[in-house]
C-alpha cells in the first residue's frame, strides 16, 4: 500500500498552511546557490549550456554529472543563503513535533552558513553524518597554471558529503519522556547491538537508478534508506522532503515502510519524481536500510561499482578532458 503523498508547490507556501506539530522528521537536499534551480538556470542546464551549473567534463571517457558551482557565490548571495535558511527553518519549526530530527544535505564550504541559520532560529545542532563516496570535487591544480605548479592542489580531493543533523528542542524533560509522548527525540539504531553511525560508506548513484531518473542530484537508495530509516526512532510518524527533486527520499521512505510527504516546486522535476518514486522504491526489495553494507549478490542485475572509497583516497586520478558543446 502506497504511504507517500507528493505535491507540486512552493514549500514555503505549503509550510505556512501545514497544521502545527504534524511532521516527525525531515530529510532533504535543498538548493544552495538558490539561483541554480531558478527557471532561467534550469533551462540552461537542460539545454546543456551550463549557466551557474558546471559543464560536465569527462574522466577516462565517463561523463561527469553537472554540479552547481558554489565557489562563484558572492558575499551577498551567501548572506541571502543564510537568510533563506533562517526563513525556512522558522516555518518548518512550527510544523515539527518536539524532538523531530531534520537531516539536510550540505556542502563543506556552505555548511557553516546553514548550521548558523538553523541554530539562530532555535534548532539544536547535532553531529553531522558523513557520506563517504568517490566524488569529483576539489583536488585540481591551479587553473591555467597546471604545468607551473604540478605538485599543488587548490583544495583537498572531495571524498565526503556532509548531511547536517538538527533537532527541534524536546517538549519534555527527557528523551525518554519525549519518545513516549511525541515518538521523537532520538535516532533508530541499525540493530539492537549497532547504533546509528556518523559515517556511512557510500558509492556514486548506481546506473540502475540513474536509468530511472536523470535528476542532476539523484542520491543512491543505499544511502537514503539508511538515513531515512534512522529518523523515526519508533517507526512512527511522517517524514517530509520539502525539496523533493528526484524523489529519492520519498522512494527510500516507501521502501522502509514509512509515511512521507514530498514537495517540489518545479513542474518537470515533480513529474519526473512522480514516475520515478515507485520504480526506485521497488529496487532491492530485501534492503530496508538496516545495514551499512549493501549485499549486491542479492541483486545480480545490479552493476555495483567496487572500490569507491579506495578511489576517493587515491593519489592520482584519470586525466581530465573538457567536453566541447
pLDDT digits 0-9 by tens, 201-254: 998 899 999 999 988 889 999 999 999 999 999 999 999 999 999 999 999 999
Question: How confident is the model at residue 32, as a pLDDT?
Answer: 75
Which whole number is the average pLDDT over 80-91?
A: 94
User: How much is the pTM?
Assistant: 0.82
> E-strand spans in the chain?
4-8, 23-28, 53-54, 58-59, 62-63, 67-68, 96-105, 124-132, 160-167, 199-201, 238-241, 259-264, 320-321
The reply to whether CATH 3.30.70.360 applies to domain 4-321 is: no
The residue length of the chain stands at: 325
**Confidence band (pLDDT; 50, 70, 90) for 49?**
low
Ordered by start, the domain boundaries in the chain are 4-321
Is the sign of the CA dihedral 261, 267, 272, 278 positive or negative?
positive
Question: How confident is the model at residue 301, as a pLDDT?
Answer: 53
30-39, 250-259, 284-293: the lowest-pLDDT one: 30-39
Cα distance between residue 35 and residue 105, in whole Å = 17
| Residue 8 CB partners (closer than 8 Å, separation 6+) | 264, 265, 267, 270
| Closest-CA residue to 27 (of 121, 90, 89, 101) | 101
Cα distance between residue 225 and residue 288, in whole Å = 6
167, 101 Cβ separation under 8 angstroms: yes
| Closest-CA residue to 252 (of 267, 269, 232) | 232
Amino acid at each position: 500500500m502506497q504511504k507517500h503523498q507528493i505535491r507540486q508547490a512552493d514549500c514555503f507556501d505549503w509550510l505556512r498552511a501545514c497544521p502545527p506539530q504534524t511532521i516527525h522528521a525531515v530529510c532533504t537536499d535543498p538548493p544552495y546557490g538558490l539561483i541554480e534551480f531558478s527557471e532561467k538556470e534550469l533551462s540552461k542546464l537542460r539545454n546543456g549550456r551550463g549557466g551557474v551549473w558546471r559543464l560536465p567534463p569527462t574522466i577516462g571517457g565517463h561523463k561527469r554529472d553537472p554540479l552547481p558551482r558554489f565557489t562563484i557565490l558572492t558575499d551577498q548571495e551567501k548572506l541571502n543563503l543564510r537568510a533563506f535558511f533562517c526563513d525556512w527553518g522558522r516555518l518548518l519549526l512550527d510544523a515539527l513535533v518536539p524532538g523531530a530530527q531534520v537531516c539536510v544535505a550540505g556542502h563543506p564550504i556552505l555548511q557553516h552558513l546553514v548550521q548558523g541559520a538553523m541554530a539562530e532560529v532555535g534548532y539544536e545542532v547535532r553531529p553531522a553524518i558523513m557520506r563517504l563516496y568517490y566524488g569529483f570535487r576539489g583536488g585540481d591544480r591551479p587553473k591555467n597554471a597546471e604545468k607551473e605548479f604540478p605538485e599543488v592542489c587548490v583544495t583537498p580531493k572531495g571524498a565526503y558529503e556532509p548531511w547536517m543533523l538538527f533537532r527541534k528542542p524536546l517538549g519534555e524533560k527527557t528523551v525518554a519522556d519525549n519518545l513516549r509522548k511525541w515518538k521523537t527525540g532520538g535516532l533508530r539504531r541499525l540493530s539492537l547491538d549497532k547504533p546509528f553511525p556518523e559515517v556511512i560508506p557510500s558509492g556514486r548513484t548506481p546506473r540502475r537508478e540513474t536509468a530511472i531518473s536523470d535528476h542532476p542530484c539523484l542520491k543512491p537508495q543505499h544511502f537514503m534508506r539508511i538515513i531515512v530509516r534512522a529518523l523515526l526512532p519508533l517507526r512512527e510518524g511522517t517524514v517530509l522532503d520539502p525539496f523533493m527533486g528526484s524523489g529519492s527520499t520519498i522512494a527510500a521512505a516507501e521502501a522502509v515502510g514509512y509515511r512521507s510527504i514530498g514537495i517540489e516546486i518545479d513542474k518537470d522535476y515533480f513529474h519526473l519524481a512522480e514516475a520515478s518514486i515507485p520504480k526506485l522504491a521497488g529496487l532491492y526489495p530485501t534492503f530496508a536500510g538496516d545495514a551499512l553494507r549493501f549485499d549486491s549478490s542479492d541483486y545480480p542485475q545490479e552493476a555495483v561499482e567496487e572500490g569507491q572509497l579506495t578511489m576517493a583516497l587515491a593519489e592520482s586520478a584519470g586525466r581530465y578532458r573538457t567536453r566541447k558543446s
